[in-house]
Structure 1
């Protein structure tokens, strides 16, 4: 499932391509991916322009000139492609936004969705999300206040969207490895210096992931060499049985609260 770095990469790349462009046509092949009828959806979007694109947690928000907002959550298996009909991958497309002869294809939205809201309604929809970990106003002191007396494990706490927004299964393991902390450690048992290191690792790993295009397997457009580049930089995720890049110990995989988890017994404590 795409996490904060993947959606931030999409935000940056799409902003360079579709902001200010007129949506000339809307096609819907799976109405269940929407929160309104296909007819209503098309009527509220077609002939509008993309005013801006923002990311919140694992969501993308497409702000339209008429005040409506498209809220995208790709969930498991969802992705996007931008290009011509000729360039389109041979995959089933649930929704297509056309900008003349260029199109934004929403693919794999079986669990994911593209909903439409007013500004007020979309804010209410996202009201329960925790702080943005990359927000420049979110400080180490704020983080220490959040973790104080929190009894959950590092792994389960990091993926809790009401605690911090945007971190999922993959990056929680990467963060714990970078902080040299076992994912099963309890948050309220961490020393202040360990919590501070965890905060620094959250910022470092998420920024590194976004800078290198996240881990998505498919390019966003023809010639896109950035999207998915983080796959070559991962520390522990999906590296079971391989040598740790820091100490050489073989990476372990186990389930933590029903989530597959990768870590190093040698240098994570």
Structure 2
């Protein structure tokens, strides 16, 4: 599932390509992927320009010049491609927004959605999300206060979008490894030094993942050399059984709160 770095990569690349451009056509192949009748969706979107694209947690918000917002959540298996009909992958797109000869294809929206909302509706939709971990005021003290309220273990708390927004399976494991803390560590047993290490690792891992385009490998457009560049840099996520890059101990693949979890029993305490 795309997480904060993947959606930030999409945002950066799409801003360069479709902002200030009008939507010339809309195709809806799966009505359940949107939230209003198809004709109403087309009427409010076609001819409108993309004024800006922002990100909140794992969502992208396409701001139309009308004031309406297209709220995207890719969920599990969702991704996007921007290009011509000839260039697009041989996959079914549930929604297509065209910008002249090139289109933005929303692929794999079986669980995800592209909802058309007004500004107030979008704000209500986002209101339950926790703070962004890379905000300037997301200090180690704030992280500690948020986590200490939870009577839980670390990974499920890091991936709870109401606690902290944007972190999922991949980056929770990567930051726990970088901080040297087991993902199944009880939060009540964490010290001030643990929270400081986790905060540093959170910034380090997320910023590096954004820099290298996240871990999802499907390119956004032909010649896209950024998207997916972090996949080869993951040191524990999806590396079960491989030797730890620090100590050589085989990485453990386990399950925690119905999620896959990867860690090193020697390097993480």
Length-normalised TM-score, structure 1 = 0.98
Instruction: Show CA shifts across 1:18-71 (max 9, x none).
Output: 000011111111111000011111100000000000000000000000010000
Q: How far off is 1:91 after superposition?
A: 0.5
Consecutive unaligned residues of structure 1, counting only runs of 5 or more, are none
Distance in 2, Cα, partners of 1:148 & 1:257? 19
Matches within 5 A, 1:89-168: 89-168=89-168
SS of structure 1 residue aligned to 2:230:
helix
- 2:216–2:228 CA contact under 8 A, matched in 1: yes
Q: How many residues align?
A: 269
d(CA) in 1 for partners of 2:138, 2:184: 25
Give the distance between the partners of 1:26 and 1:148, measured in 2 at CA: 47
Distance 1:148 1:223 in 2: 45
Which residue is equivalent to 2:198? 198
Aligned equivalent of 1:240: 240
- 2-structure distance, mates of 1:47, 1:183: 48
Preserved contact between residue 58 and residue 165 of structure 2 (Cα < 8 Å): yes
Deviates more, 1:134-143 or 1:117-126: 134-143
Shift of 1:145: 1.7
- TM-score under structure 2 normalisation? 0.98
Q: Tell me by how many angstroms 1:103 deviates.
A: 0.6
**SS in structure 2 at match of 1:224:** coil
What is the SS of the residue equivalent to 2:227? coil
Say if 2:66 is the partner of 1:62: no
Any idea what SS the aligned residue of 2:40 has? helix
CA distance in 1, matches of 2:187, 2:118: 38
Of stretches 45-54 and 208-217 in structure 1, the one that deviates more from structure 2 is 208-217
User: Whole-Å Cα distance in 1 between the matches of residues 82 and 137 of structure 2?
Assistant: 33
CA shift at 1:257, angstroms? Answer: 1.4
Residue in structure 1 matched with residue 230 of structure 2 by the alignment: 230
Once superposed, what is the RMSD of the aligned Cα atoms?
A: 0.8
Instruction: Give distance in 1, aligned partners of 2:261 and 2:187.
Output: 17
| Offset at residue 149 of structure 1 (A) | 4.0
Change (3 A) 1:180 1:61: same
What's the counterpart of residue 219 of structure 2? 219
Note the C-alpha offset of 1:12. 0.3
Q: Counterpart of 1:72?
A: 72
Detail structure 1 runs of 4+ shifted over 3 Å in the superposition.
none
Alignment partner, residue 43 of structure 1: 43
Is the Cα–Cα contact under 8 Å of residues 147 and 157 in structure 2 kept in the other structure?
no
The whole-number CA distance in structure 1 between the counterparts of 2:41 and 2:136 is 35
Q: Which runs of 5+ in 2 are unaligned?
A: none
